[in-house]
Structure 1
Amino acid sequence: MGTLKRTVLASGLMLALAGTGPAEVLTVGQTVSGELTAADPQGPMGKYEDGHTLVLAPGAAAVVTLVSEDFDCYLKIAMPDGSVREDDDGAGSLDSRLLVRSDAGGECAVTVTTYGPGETGAYTLSAAAVESARLLPGQVHRGLFDEMPVIYTVPVAAGQTMMVYASSEEFDTVLTFDGPDGRRLMNDDIHGSLNSGLLSISEATGDATLTLDAFTPMSSGEYELVATPLTVMHRFDHTGDPTVRQAARMALPVLRAALFELAGDPGARATVAVNSDDFDTTLYVFDGQGGMEFDDDGGGGTNAQMDVRIPAGGVAHLLVVPFDLQTTGQFEIRVTAPEADPAATPPAAPGELPPFTARDLDGNAVPSSQFDGTVRIVDVWATWCPPCRMEIPHFIELTNRYPELKVVGISVDDGPEVVQEYMQEAGVNYTMLMDDGTTVQSLAQATSEGAINAIPTTFVVGRDGRIASVHIGYQDLAVFESEVQTLLAD
C-alpha cells in the first residue's frame, strides 16, 4: 500500500501527504484488504497510516469496520462537513467501527492506523449500508439489535417538544438525535439505568435522524423505542415576586412523563420540588439548548428537588418522570424561592466556579487561580468517553476563533500517557489537566446534585468567575459559541 497517496487527519482538517497515486476508493457494500508497512507515511506518534476515500450519497449511512489480527486498530474518518469521527475498539476486541451519515453526501477521508506507534500488518476495511426506518411520533417500535447501529427518521415540527426513550433488558442502549435544526443530542444512561432518553425541542420542521446503538461493542438483544410529542401541562411564571409559592397537583399521564415550563428573567433562580406518595420521582431540567440536569432524591426520601437557574432564553423546561417507568400515580410540583441556607438544599448551579487544583501532564500542581479573569470553558472528560471525544473538535475550533477564550480540559483518565497521546492525535491546542483526586470533587460543588455523575460535564464561566451554564452530555459547537460570544461581549 506504500504507492498510494495517504490522507491524515489533524485538528479536524484533511492534510494530503505526498504519494504516487490517489487514495484508494472504498464503496458502500465493499470490503478491501490492505497492509500497513514501514514504507507507509507516519502520522503523530510514529503511527503508520493508509488513506481511503468513501463516497456517501445524500442522506446515506454506512458502518465502516476495520479489522486486523496483526495490530490494535484505530479508525479516523473526516466527514464532508469537516467534522472528524474516531474509534478505537468499537467493533470489539482490538477492532474499530464507526457509523457515518451525511445529509448532503460527499467524500469521506478514511484513515487506517494503529493505536500504538510502529505497528504494522494486514487489515480489512469494509463499509456496510445502514438502512433507515420511519418512526412516527407516538409509535412504539420493538426490534432486535444485532451488533450494528439502527437508524430511524422521525418527523418533527418547529417548536415541538419530543421525548425519545430506548429500553432493553439485554444491552446498554445509546441514543443520538440529530434534529432538522442541525443540533445533536446524545444520551447513554437516563437516571442511572442502562436505558437512554432525551428531550428535543426543535427549532425547525423536517426529519430528525435517530440512531440507536449499544455502549458495549458487539451487543445484541431486543429493544423498545418510542418518540413521543409532549404538551406543556403547566407554565410557572417566576417573574415579579419570586417568593410567591406556586404548585400544581396532577396525575402522570399515560405517557408517564409530564412536561412543565418555568419562565422568568434569565439568571433568576428558583427551587423546584416534586413530591409523590405513589412513585419515586425524578426531575429533569432542560435549558432548550441541549443542556440537561436531573435529580432523583434531592428532596429527601423518594422526592426530587433542584435549584434551577432560568436560562438565557427565559424558559426552563421541567420534565417529571417516575424513576421506575412502569409506575404511575399522583404528584405535586412546587416552585419557590431558593432557600437562604445553602446547606438545606442541594448545591446550587450556577454560582461561582469553586477553586480547584489539578495536575498538568507532567504531574505539576496547577491552581485554578491561574485562569482567573478570563472567559473560560472547563470540561471534565475522558479519552474512553465517545461524547467527550466528539466535543474535542469544538473546543479546538473555539480556541482558534477566540484567542481571549481559555479552554481547560480536566481528564479523569487513569494516567496522563493516554491523554498525551490522544492530544497529539486530535491536535488539541488548549490546556489539558488531570484530576488529582480532588479536582472533580471540588467542581462538583457547582452542580445541582453536588456530584459529577456523568461526563462530559462542562462549565462555561465568565470573567467574574460566575458560571454561566453547566452542560451534562454532548453539546453542539453552536451552543458553546453562543455562550462564549455573550460572555466575551460583557
Structure 2
Amino acid sequence: MLRIILFASTALTILGSPAIAQEQLRPGREVTGSLSPGDDRLDSGEFRDLFEFQGRAGQQVGLRLTSNDFDPYLMVRGPGDFSEDNDDASDDDRSALLNLRLPADGTYRVTATSYESGERGTYRLSLIGGSIAVPQGGGGGGQSTGGRLGTGTTRGQLARGDETLSSGEFVDSYALPVRRGQTYELALSASGFDPYLMVRGPGGLSEDNDDDPARRGTQDSRIRFTAPADGEATVSATSYESGETGSYSLSLDGGGGGERARDTRGDTGETALRLGETRTGRLARGDRQLDSGEFLNSFVFAGRRGQRLDLRLSSTDFDPYLSITGPGNFSGFNDDDADASDSRDSRLRVTLPADGEYRITATSYEAGETGSYRLSALADSGSARAEPAVQANERASSGGRITVGQTVAGTLGSGDETLDSGEYVDTYSFVGRRGERVAVELTSSAFDAYTILRTPSGEQRENDDGQDGTNSRLDTVLTEDGEYQVMVTSYASGETGSYRFIVSPSQGSPRQAAVQSGARVFAVMVGVSDYGGGQNNLPYTDEDARKLAETLQREGVLNPSSVVLTNAQATIGGVRAAFARVAAQAGPDDMFLFFFSGHGDQSDTAVTGLEPDGRSESIVLRDGEISDVEMSRLFGSLRTRLALLVLDSCYSGGFARNVVDRPGVMGLFSSEEDLTSAVADKFRAGGYLSHFLRTGMSGEADGDGDHLVTAGELATYLRRQFRTEVESVESETADGQRNYQNLVIDRGGVQVDDVILRLAAAGSAVGAR
C-alpha cells in the first residue's frame, strides 16, 4: 500500500516536468536505454527515463519493459487523468507489461523505472499496436499454455483454469516476433473442440478464422497473413464455443519465429537515414530477401514534398541496386549510375511528391549476392538551379485578381506592405465556390515561404511547412462562395526575394483521392417492427431499413448486392447468411455497412475488461438474438476499406468495446450501453439515429460541400442533431434508473478525414431530376 501511495504522489511530477527530455516511442519499434546516476528520479528515489507516444481513443497498445539488471516498473499517464502502472508481467516473469485500451486522443507519457530505489542498468522498451501476450509457464510433456511461438508445431491444451475471452472461451496466447512484409501461416487443429484462431499485432494487424476455407468439411482453423509492421504479434488459440476444452496442435510456417541474423557491422534493418548522411552496411545471408532471391537492407527517410534527393549506393563486392517507395504509391529504382557509364554503382535522383515516410532499399542486381556497401542520401544539386524566367501569363501585381490554375511570379522586397509582425507581404485575390478543393503552393529559393488564406467572411488559414527554408503548400476545401485573399509572405521578418505561387484545383489527400465513386457501399440493413409475439412490436423500425436503402440508392452509392431484411425475414440465420453473402462481394476499395433498427437486450456475463458491468449486449431479431461477441466475429471476416456498424436499439453502446477494436471499423450507437433508446415519433422514424443517418448520408453531413461525407463530418453532424433534437429525451436503465438518451460514436482507428462515402455530384445521382 505504501508503494501505491508514493507513486500516486509522483503523478503530477511526471506530467508537469516539461524540462525533462521525452523520447518519442513508435509502434513496432524497440528502444534500449539505461538507468544510471544522473538520471531524473521519482520522489521515492528510483531513477527514471521518460518517453511519449501519440494515441487515439479506442486504440489498443501493448508496452513491455525488460531488464537483466534490475526489476522493471512501468508507468503510463495520459489525457483525462489516465493512469496505469505495472510491476510484474506475471508471477513467473518480472518484466513489466501493460496492455491498454486508450481512452482519448492525445499524448501518453511512459516512465521506465525500477521497483527499488537506486537500481540501475540497461533495459529494453517496446510499444506495439495491439496486445502483448502475458507470459505463462509451460506445461510438461511437450505441452504449452502460452509463451513464445517458433517455427514448427507446438502442442497445447485448453483447460479449465486457463485465461478466458470475455465471451467465455478458454484461450492460450503466444508471442510471435514478426517482420514487415514477411508472410506467416498458422494452423490450429483439435479433435476435442472446434478450433478458433486470432492474431493481433503491430501496424493494426487483426485476423480471425474459424474454419480453414481451403479444407471444407474440417473444423481446423488456418490464418495466412503478411505483417504490416515490425514488432510482436499475439497469437491466440481458442475455441468457437465457450467452455470447450481439449488438446490441440498449433503450427507456424513461413516468416520464422526467431530473430533474423544481425549484421555484425550494425543494424541494417529499417533504421533512420537522414539527409547528408552516409551509412555503411553489409548484405548477408539471413537478411530479408525479395521474392526473386536478392538480400536487402531497408532504411526509413522522413521526406518533405518537393524535396530533391540524390541517393547513391556503391559496392566493390556486388552489383548495387537501389529503390525508394513512399506515400501515394510513389516508387523509383535504379541499377547503374547513368552519369558514370563505367560504374556499376547505383544512383537515384528523385523529387519527393508528398510529406511522409519513405523507404529506401539497398539490394543487389543478382540473387544471392552479398558484401559491404555505402549508402548516401544527399541534397540534389539540381535544387540550386536558377529560377526560370517569368512567363507572360505569370505576371500579376500585388492586390490584383488571379484565376484558379494561374501561376504567378513575384518578389518580396522593401517597399511592400508588411504584416504587424514585420514580414513583407503581397496580396492576391480569387473567386472561389463552396465545396471547391484548392491547393495554394508557394515556392522560393530566397526565403522561407509562408502563405495565409483568408475567406470571404474573414476566417484565416495559414501554412509554413517548417523553419528550414522549405516551400509552403496549403490544401483545403473552400467553405463559402465569394472572394478569397492569398497573402504571400515569409516566415521571418525582413526576408526578401523572388517567388512563384499558384492556386490550383486539388484532389485532396491521397487517401481521399483513392476512394472510388459509384455503388461502393455494400450494406446489410435490418429492421424489425413485427416481432410475432416474441417481443412487443415497434413502430417504424422496419421502415428505417427500407428508407436507408432508398436514400443510398438515390445517391447512387448502394451496391446492388446489398440486402434489406425486415420483420419475418430478419431471423438469425437470415442475417448471418446475408452478412456472409454481401461481405464476400465487398473488396478492399469498398465500404461495408451493417444497420439495425429494433429491440436491444442485455444479459448477465462474467465481469471482464470488455464487460466491466457484467452485462453482455445483443440485438433482438425475429427468432432470437445476435450478441456483441458474435458481431465482432462477423466484422472480423471483412476485408473492406472501411466498415460502419450502426445500431439504433436499446443498450447498443455496449457493442463498441467488442466490435470497434480493429482497423477501419467505426461504430454509431443510439444510446449508452446501459440505457434505452426512444422511438422518434416526431420524424415518423423508429429511432433518432436512423433518421439522422439517412439525412446525413443524403448530403447534409457534407459540411464543406466537396461531395465527400467523411467520418469526422458524419460524427459532427450526428452530434449536432442529437444536441438539438434528443438532449431532453428521457431514457432509463434495466433496473429503472432514469437519465437521458445519449449518442455513442466510436471511430476506433478510423481517421477524421477517412471517407464514409463519395456522393454523386449535384444532378448526377441516380434518380436525380
TM exceeding 0.5: no
Task: Report the TM-score range of the alignment, normalised by the length of the smaller protein.
Answer: 0.3 to 0.5
**What is the TM-score with the length of structure 1 in the denominator?**
0.38
Q: Return the index of the structure with the highest Cα Rg.
A: 2
Greater RCO (Cα-Cα under 8 Å, separation 6 or more): 1
**What is the TM-score with the length of structure 2 in the denominator?**
0.26
